[in-house]
Chain A
Amino acid sequence: MIVCPACKHRNPEDAEVCEACGENLEDFLYRACPACGALNPAENVFCHRCLERLKGAAPEAAEQPPAAEERMTEGEETLAETTEKEEESIPSFLSEEAEEAEVAAEEEPPLEEEPAETLPPFIETERREEPLTREEEPLAEKRPPSEEQTTETEQAPAPPDEQAPETEEGEEVLPQIATHPLEGIEDGLPLEVGVSLPHRADPLSSEEPTEEERADAELLRRIAEEGAPLQEAPSKAEGKEPQPLSRLGRVLLHLMVLLAALAPFFTGGQTAHWVLPRRDIGGLVDMTSTLSVHTPVLVSFDYSPSYAGELDPLALALVRQLASRSVPIVAMSTKPEGIGVAEKICATVAGEMEDYRYGEDYAILGYLSGQEAGLRTLKKGVGYAFKKDHVQHRALSELPVTSGIDSVADMEHVIVLSDENNIVRRWIEQVRRGDIVLLHALVSTRIEPLLVPYEQAGQLETLIGGAYGAAEYEKASGMEGMAARTVDADIFLFLVMLLIAVITNVVYVSKE
């Protein structure tokens, strides 16, 4: 059955035009095997898959190997014609090769009129490259086909290095490989066809490539180029490194941390009496005890409830001490969720002290939006940033604790409780500039090291970090609270880390 090159319809052997699309079938490329349906090149006599004789193929063709061989050996000579036929079907990314092939074809001698070479184009593309590296003269001109055939059959099994002798001029002469390895073996044509023409992929379409195909070719080229490293970085396959910690190991580690965290429930904070406050903390406690009862302190609760476990004890210790000294507190936050924290802390202390009242002893201004710009507005004047307080929605001048405040400088001390180093930086850059206030930062342990340079430069009066800092503060102020009770967890966590370090290295050394 003849396969229509245009629409792939399978037509009867005697069809001259396609039954489906009317395409001329004179130059058909493929014939379908009537037995197994496999596609075979037009010149095939037997099906490459089932060896069934293909209908319509001349039986004498099988018995006249020289004719077939002649055509095969002259495959190179038919190149120009093939190239012409295929020129239009070459994708853009192969155009350079096409041009080279054209040049090569021009060097070929004139050709006899031969039926078109009907091997699939992708095979022809490979073969087109051959003349470029060969000597100019085609072999077919030098020797008669029979002689050439014998020589080639003898040379075919030679090892590769022997196949590429060099000429005197040092130019490489490619071995005279037969176009077909089984060429010349008589009485074996059916077998030859079956072995030498393996099942091939669908051929490239002879039509002009579509936009999509062109895009694919372009994509392929770009992917190949994308992979190139910027310099000579070693290229290795992507893949996840093997996990250093198994699932069980991870569970065990986490279990140990959990036990350390739960330790204070069993030990009851026995180690609190060992706590010795650092100089910084002692300084802050001393400062708060010398503050005037008429000058409020601005406390900014710039942390989210995420860090409540770490910063709430510090905030509570601070507010308790200020409240016990009757120092007025003006609270605010530059984080939306911080205002809830401020309310909670102030409400806790107000609940502990009967005469600690909102508006007289403390006030919550609210959330200050605008990040840096908000703080700059605050610096211009508290009244610019907050028109009313957050709890009672009264003008600041109506509340006793805020009535005398026009500017931040009126409060002298600003204490920032924060879980983000950028927030403390904002306060330093936007509010402290010009040394109008003294800035103290009470922060989470994670960000403490990042703020040490500011403390050393004198831009922060005090820097206290984390839950342990709270225990020190409680100790220094003489009011032991929840922070002192959790110190035991620190000891157990240290033991856990020590254990991890030992286990890690034992495992590592034993594996190595």
Chain B
Amino acid sequence: MPSLIYAIFSTVDVVALLTLFVSALMFTVFTIRARRDGRFPLRPIGVYERMRRLVSHAAESGQSLHVSVGSGRIGTEATPQALMGITAADYLARRSTEYAYPLMSTAGSPTVFATAHGVLQQAETSPGETGGGKIRFYGPDPFAYAAGTYDTLQEKAPLAHIVLGQFNAEGLWISEAASGQDFLQIGGTSDPSSAMLMWLSLDEAVVGEELYAAGAYLHRPSHLGSLATQDYLRVVLILSIIVGVVMASLGYWG
């Protein structure tokens, strides 16, 4: 038996397993605390603030909103980013059913399309509510997605274009091509090479890990626990780097 355990654990990436364990522990604690204590204090993030106000604006004016949920494939390492696009679409779709403003959405990968489709459809079929969103898919190719989204934006002329989720170069393509139009563009992605250029093109942008705060800021207090975990893990990481640098400089490790 001990030999079997040794055989199993000798192949395990212990550091990764430990990181996962500590993260899961912190996540559980902070999620329970978030549910018990209510809201955590949050610093304002422009994009999410604007998105909430845009909902009010769209409800008043009756103009449509467009959300591009990105081309991240669910089932790959891009899943968390893609889910943030879905979260934004979910938020806007639910508000759309309540406040009856039109919502259009475009997706650039089949899996994110299917998920977003389900989310929008569920919002649409909620009892006693009308409206909801519509979603279009323009093929699994990023630039086909960019071109299709641009076409839809021109056709629908929305109040604002929310471009949030996993984007590569097509993110810049969409945001810059549509920047000459008359609607507001907000959003962002976490991929650095795209995020920097999208930041230049969008009227307001999230950069990097701010993307992962979408749920907590928009409509899901249950995400506050994970946001707190993210922050405390960052502290642990900074301390680890400092300790690592000191120890390496003293010649103990590496």
Q: Which residues of A contact B (CB under 8 A)?
A: 219, 222-223, 226-227, 229-233, 235, 238-241, 243, 247, 250, 304, 306, 337, 371-372, 420-422, 425-426, 446-447, 449-450
Contact = CB atoms under 8 A, between A and B. Distances in A.
A16 B159 CA distance: 54
B49 A233 contact: yes
A434 to B, nearest CB: 10
Contacts of B57: 238
A240 B203 contact: yes
B59 A223 contact: yes
B75 A240 contact: no
Interface stretch (B18-26, B30-38, B177-185): B177-185
B78 A235 contact: no
Interface stretch (B40-48, B116-124, B228-236, B237-245): B40-48
Given A223-B59, A229-B44, A372-B77, A243 B49 contact: no
B99 interface: yes
Contacts of A222: 98
29 contacts: A219-B59, A219-B98, A223-B60, A226-B55, A227-B53, A229-B52, A230-B49, A231-B42, A233-B44, A235-B53, A238-B54, A238-B159, A239-B184, A240-B185, A243-B179, A243-B180, A250-B180, A306-B169, A371-B75, A372-B76, A372-B77, A420-B168, A422-B76, A422-B78, A426-B77, A446-B193, A447-B193, A449-B192, A450-B193
Nearest to B98: A219
Given A223-B60, A226-B52, A372-B76, 15 more contacts: A219-B59, A226-B56, A229-B44, A230-B42, A230-B217, A231-B41, A231-B43, A231-B44, A238-B160, A240-B182, A306-B169, A371-B77, A447-B193, A449-B193, A450-B193
B220 interface: no
Interface in B135-191: 141-143, 159-160, 168-169, 179-180, 182-185, 191
B36 to A, nearest CB: 20
A231 B217 CA distance: 11
B126 to A, nearest CB: 13
Contact of A240 (B48, B56, B183): B183
B223 interface: no
Contacts of B192: 449-450
B180 A238 contact: no
A219 B128 CA distance: 14
Contacts of A337: 141
A235 B141 CA distance: 38
Given A219-B98, A230-B217, A425-B77, A306 B49 contact: no
A371 B73 CA distance: 10
Contact of A238 (B50, B99, B191): B50
B203 to A, nearest CB: 6
Contacts of B182: 240
A239 B54 CA distance: 10
Contacts of A447: 193
Nearest to A222: B98
Nearest to A238: B57
Contacts of B169: 306, 446
Interface residues of B, number: 41
Contact of B76 (A226, A306, A371, A421): A371
Interface string B192-235: 11000000000100000000000001000000000000000000
Contacts of A304: 141-142
A24 B135 CA distance: 54
A223 B99 contact: yes
B241 to A, nearest CB: 13
Contacts of A230: 42, 44, 48-49, 217
B97 to A, nearest CB: 11
B143 A227 contact: no
A240 B54 CA distance: 12
B245 to A, nearest CB: 15
Nearest to A233: B44
Contacts of B184: 238-240
A238 B50 CA distance: 8
A231 B98 CA distance: 24
Contacts of B60: 223
Given A219-B99, A238-B57, A247-B180, A227 B77 contact: no
A10 B191 CA distance: 68
A447 B192 CA distance: 9
B80 to A, nearest CB: 12
A449 B49 CA distance: 32
B53 A238 contact: yes
Contact of A306 (B42, B43, B143): B143
A365 B103 CA distance: 44
A241 B203 contact: yes
A227 B56 contact: yes
Contacts of B98: 219, 222
B193 A421 contact: yes
Which of A230, A232, A238 has the most C-beta atoms of chain B within 10 angstroms of its own C-beta? A238
Contacts of A239: 184
Nearest to B194: A446
Nearest to B59: A223
A233 B53 CA distance: 12
Contacts of B183: 240
Given A231-B42, A233-B49, A422 B77 contact: yes
